[in-house]
Structure 1
Amino acid sequence: MKVIQFEDKPLAHYSYAIISGNEMALVDPARDPKPYYQLAEKHNVKIKAVFETHPHADFVSSHLQIHKETGATIYVSKLVGANYPHQAFDDGNSITIGKSTFSAINSPGHSPDSITIIAVDENNHHAMFSGDTLFIGDVGRPDLREKAGNMKAKREELAESMYHTIQNKFNHLPDTTIVYPAHGAGSLCGKNMSTDSQSTLGRERKENWAFKKLSEAQFINHILKDQPFIPSYFGFNVDINKNGAENVQSSIAKPTFQFKVDNSDFGNTVVVDVRNKDDFNKNHLPNSINIIAETDDDKFETWLGSIVKPEESFYLVIQSIDNRETMLKRVAKIGYEKQLKGLITLDAVTFEKSKELNIGEFKNHLDKYTIVDIRNKSEVEAGQVFDSAISIPLNELRDSKNEIPTDKPIVVHCAGGYRSAAGRSIISNLIEKIPVYDLGDDVTKFKKQ
């Protein structure tokens, strides 16, 4: 049995291909199935199965497309009530792929319908594909299903389920079992995940807080405390994954493209500019929002789905025609391609510019500025950078016009500079005549020791 891990860095998502004999199984595949097909061609194997550990909240899966294009059977818990062709896969169910046996363990906690996939090869090597149940160093958050579209479950009940899952469901597995989670550090599906991409069950039993000797009440209190915010697109994605997404290639072919635009009339439609901060500041369309998508380290998908609401129409300003296909695929990862009206590149016409902050002036006269801290609530609780700052998380900023004073110039900051570019652009769209500045990565000069 050979396990190949695929990583989607912006979403901190791991998916898997398991090759055994001349057959392949997939676990929690990303929106674009092409990499899995390329791997199958390389090894001359047939894709026989797609396992969905649960309906994901943070990305759109390609399980239905893969089924249609390869004939592979989709295996998912009967508790999902999936609206696509599938085979129920729950406690007691098992199948053989190549020379390996795959079985299901119902493992509720992150969601009521989560399953963990156990694979055992001919040499008795064990692997567990734990989805969003067991992470490296943590377990999945239990509070997403309260706001997950049509699939509801209370956080306290799911926290209790997670306690019993961790206490009882995996006890029969050997310490040597390799743990392959669906997410790593940076995902909003948990709060304290390791940067390691895999582990062993024995290591997790020793090091993961969830395996410590805690009472049920202590466990529930810990897991519910200080969870990150929930992006607005999470429930939207759960519903898409329950029904199965459209073919990604045909879906991303629908948005229009406008080359070298020389006018700024886009009505009330949101305009998202994905270029770097310097290019945006030099010239951008009025009322546009700067959500940077230069590299895979930029959490563009998460912030697009947090700032722009599901089904809210928007345009995308890109740097070059060379970025068109990449950005379409990034938008499609969270199912937002249907609401994307079109992509745009800008002509040499000057639209609007952003002023740079005089750091020396700001440092010497903090009292002359309104400082807006757009970090998450948990970050602010861990320590403020400026005692006088107003805290408004970035994902709430578009609805916070009345919370921002307009008697002084405004300076926006986050933790390292990425989010503040989006924050500055949003506040500039909300407030007229008052200068709005981005502190950027200079915020590190002000952090308290």
Structure 2
Amino acid sequence: MNIKQFEYGPLSHYSYAIVSEGKMAVIDPERDPQQYYDFAKANDAKITAIIQTHPHADFVSSHLEIHNETGATIYNSKKLGADYPHQTFDDGDSITLGKITLKAINTPGHSPDSITIVATEGDKTVMFTGDTLFIGDVGRPDLRENVGNMTAKREELAEMMYETVTTKFNELPDDTIVYPAHGAGSLCGKNLSEAASSTLGDERMGNWAFKDQSKEQFMNTLLDGQPFIPSYFGFNVDINKVGADRLNPNIEKIPFIENTTATGLIVDMRNEAIFKKGHLKGSINIQAESEIDKFETWVGSIVAPNEKFTLVIDKKENKDKILNRLAKIGYEKQVLKVITLSNENLVKTDQLDLEDFKKHPENYTIVDIRNKSEINECKFFENALEHPLNELRDTASQIPTDKPVVVHCAGGYRSTAGSSILENELKNATIYDLSEAIEEFKD
């Protein structure tokens, strides 16, 4: 069984290709389909099937583009209510892919329309679990209360997940390989393992969801302490239900201007040190300097779906790469233009006197922009005001400005974005970013 796992690190997303006898299926593809075309070519295979385990919330899929380019059939649950050409794929349905048989199991819980795909060849069994079963966890049940063809309240979905875990996989052997759609760092669950795969036997032994417990205990554990829901999640469910436009034409039509200026909402992806030396008024510094920066997640949490903005990049050579990253969450259409900066109309960020802050923290208003679940685990400053970053543009006006404001997160990446938001929202206040110096305040 020839299986390739593709990983997109910033969104902790796994997609898959399966090849047998010159035929290839793609499962839960990400926005850029080129890697799947390349893999098909390398294996002398034709893409004949694209399978969606559910309409994903945290990324935009390329299923419709692959269908239009290759003629491959899209398979998904009838419960999804897809608005693109597709074949329903539910309990009892199967696909033959060379020597491999792919069967569908309806596994609601993360969403009402989730399916798991079970692939068998001889005595080997593999399951592609989407966002139902992760390594060490199961998918969160609180993303489909207001979006999608089938909506369901979190309590209803938590109960569905209990039934899924306790009944749907019982006939599968312990040596079944488990391939999920996400790993550690995804907001589609709360305690995902760093491991990219597992076996069903190991999950039955080590995953909390398989422990002997009552339905009430299971539901309480699943519902408690889930991370925040980025504003773009519902937006992506709706895009995936219809199918996204082709990627490259959307990228190519966005204007690019070098050495210029801009007004309005601005997302600046540059390194924080460079940003603080000079940036445009109104800029929010959401860094995309490295491949592991959670740029997509935080753009989609801070900037609302359909909200237009200008994108500032560090150099022309990075334009398409950064636009492709925005397209992962369907935000490329919101970019008015991409620019590099001239030296005109730039403002600097004030630098915190760290020694004075250590000696006299009472002289500052401290703002903790971590997620509520993080704050509940520990606080670094007892009197810090709690304003999670994803809510900060809406709650900034509640922050008193009679003292200088110091913003912190857990490691420095988010506080750069948070302090830049407060620079815009609190016009007459002095704003400081504690940045990586937060490490000096941890026990």
Q: State the TM-score bracket (shorter-chain normalisation).
A: over 0.9
1:226 & 1:403 partners in 2: Cα distance? 25
SS, match of residue 146 in structure 1: coil
SS, match of residue 346 in structure 2: coil
Task: Name the residue aligned to 1:288.
Answer: 283
In the TM superposition, what are the counterparts of 1:73-84 in structure 2 within 5 Å?
Answer: 73-84=73-84
How far the C-alpha of 1:30 sits from its partner, in A, is 0.3
**AA at the equivalent of 1:153:** A
**AA at the equivalent of 1:170:** F
**AA at the equivalent of 1:294:** E
SS, match of residue 333 in structure 2: helix
How far the C-alpha of 1:340 sits from its partner, in A, is 1.1
How far the C-alpha of 1:151 sits from its partner, in A, is 4.6
How far the C-alpha of 1:251 sits from its partner, in A, is 1.4
In the TM superposition, what are the counterparts of 1:394-433 in structure 2 within 5 Å?
Answer: 394-433=389-428
2:26 & 2:419 partners in 1: Cα distance? 41
Contact 2:364/2:404, CA 8 A, preserved across alignment: yes
How far the C-alpha of 1:433 sits from its partner, in A, is 2.5
1:331 & 1:151 partners in 2: Cα distance? 27
1:433 & 1:79 partners in 2: Cα distance? 52
How far the C-alpha of 1:147 sits from its partner, in A, is 3.6
2:13 & 2:243 partners in 1: Cα distance? 18
Contact 1:14/1:184, CA 8 A, preserved across alignment: yes
Task: Name the residue aligned to 2:153.
Answer: 154
Deviations 1:93-149 (A, max 9, x none): 00101110000000000000000000001x321110000000000000000001436
Task: Name the residue aligned to 1:239.
Answer: 238
2:21 & 2:239 partners in 1: Cα distance? 33
Matched, 1:337 2:336: no
Task: Name the residue aligned to 2:385.
Answer: 390
1:254 & 1:381 partners in 2: Cα distance? 45
Deviations 1:139-186 (A, max 9, x none): 000000014366521100000000000000000001010000000000
2:378 & 2:226 partners in 1: Cα distance? 16
Contact 1:290/1:425, CA 8 A, preserved across alignment: yes
How far the C-alpha of 1:434 sits from its partner, in A, is 1.8
SS, match of residue 324 in structure 1: helix
Comparing 271-280 and 354-363, the one that deviates more? 354-363
Task: Name the residue aligned to 2:64.
Answer: 64
SS, match of residue 280 in structure 1: helix
Task: Name the residue aligned to 1:100.
Answer: 100
1:213 & 1:255 partners in 2: Cα distance? 54
Task: Name the residue aligned to 2:255.
Answer: 256
345, 351, 357: which is aligned to 1:356? Answer: 351
Contact 2:132/2:138, CA 8 A, preserved across alignment: yes
Matched, 1:375 2:374: no
Contact 1:149/1:236, CA 8 A, preserved across alignment: no
**AA at the equivalent of 1:223:** L
1:401 & 1:415 partners in 2: Cα distance? 19
Contact 1:316/1:344, CA 8 A, preserved across alignment: yes
In the TM superposition, what are the counterparts of 1:19-38 in structure 2 within 5 Å?
Answer: 19-38=19-38
SS, match of residue 217 in structure 1: helix
Matched, 1:3 2:3: yes
SS, match of residue 19 in structure 2: strand
SS, match of residue 319 in structure 2: helix
How far the C-alpha of 1:349 sits from its partner, in A, is 3.1
287, 303, 309: which is aligned to 1:308? Answer: 303
How far the C-alpha of 1:350 sits from its partner, in A, is 5.4
SS, match of residue 279 in structure 2: coil
**AA at the equivalent of 1:33:** P
Deviations 1:175-211 (A, max 9, x none): 0100000000000000000000000000000000000
Matched, 1:18 2:13: no
| TM-score normalised per structure 2 | 0.99
1:429 & 1:229 partners in 2: Cα distance? 24
2:153 & 2:113 partners in 1: Cα distance? 13
Task: Name the residue aligned to 1:299.
Answer: 294
1:320 & 1:118 partners in 2: Cα distance? 45
Deviations 1:391-448 (A, max 9, x none): 000000001133100100000000000000000000010112221010011101101x
Instruction: Specify every segment of 5 or more residues in structure 1 that has no aligned partner in the other structure, as ranges.
Output: none
**AA at the equivalent of 1:145:** R
1:56 & 1:116 partners in 2: Cα distance? 14
Task: Name the residue aligned to 2:172.
Answer: 173
Contact 1:57/1:148, CA 8 A, preserved across alignment: no
| TM-score normalised per structure 1 | 0.97
Comparing 245-254 and 182-191, the one that deviates more? 245-254
1:287 & 1:249 partners in 2: Cα distance? 29
Instruction: Specify every segment of 5 or more residues in structure 2 that has no aligned partner in the other structure, as ranges.
Output: none
**AA at the equivalent of 2:275:** F
How far the C-alpha of 1:347 sits from its partner, in A, is 1.6
1:128 & 1:251 partners in 2: Cα distance? 34
Task: Name the residue aligned to 1:209.
Answer: 208
Deviations 1:58-78 (A, max 9, x none): 000000000000111000000
Identity of aligned residues (%): 60
